[in-house]
Amino acid sequence: MAPTGLVHVYWGDGKGKTTAALGLGVRAVGSGFDVHLVQFVKGSTEKVDLPGEIRVIEELDGFTYERFGTEGWVMEENREENREEHVEAAKEGLEAGREAASSGEHDLVILDEVLYAVSMGLLSREDVLDLIERKAQETELVLTGSHERLPEIEEAADLVTQMKKVKHPYDEGVEARKGIEY
């Protein structure tokens, strides 16, 4: 049985939005579904060229991906640097996401960090709403990212999960750890 074509939104200041989406992707592939991941605002960093999840996806039949970002991860403190490049990468990702979601070729499409691209002003809410509107009827669509609530996008979704931070090691100065955060 194929997915029912629902739209999921995973947002909030807590850890686990991408992890939840990728876990869903692995579950779907394990059930014989075709899954496609489009990542926004995640480029390479000095610490890692490809994060662990991408290395695993490369080994899974039926799970494909595309990444759209500039050098390094786009964060609040660096997003104004090379802003035009960030916007261009986000728009390329949006077009890839629109194609993947509307083609009918994939059972599940994950747009990882697309909501951050919206909250950072790299894409508009209307861009994402248009993509939702154009998705193939039977394609399940997952949108992740953003610490900011995006009510118009939530309204267009069928399932909304807010990840809420109660405590995080970042607050104590612990840096991202390989295999856990990337």
pLDDT reported for residue 73: 59
Could you confirm whether domain 7-138 is CATH 3.40.50.300? yes
User: Which are the contacts of 69, defined by CB distance < 8 A and separation ≥ 6?
Assistant: 39, 40, 41, 42, 43, 86, 89, 93
* pLDDT per residue rounded down to tens, the chain (182 residues): 556 899 999 999 999 999 999 999 999 999 999 999 999 987 654 445 678 888 899 999 999 999 997 765 555 555 566 778 888 999 999 999 999 999 999 999 999 999 999 999 999 999 999 999 999 999 999 999 999 999 999 999 999 999 999 998 888 889 888 888 77
pLDDT reported for residue 79: 56
pLDDT reported for residue 46: 47
pLDDT reported for residue 52: 83
Span 95-110, pLDDT tens digits: 999 999 999 999 999 9
Domain positions in the chain: 7-138
Closest CA to 92 of 77, 70, 107: 70
pLDDT reported for residue 82: 74
Closest CA to 111 of 175, 30, 23, 21: 21
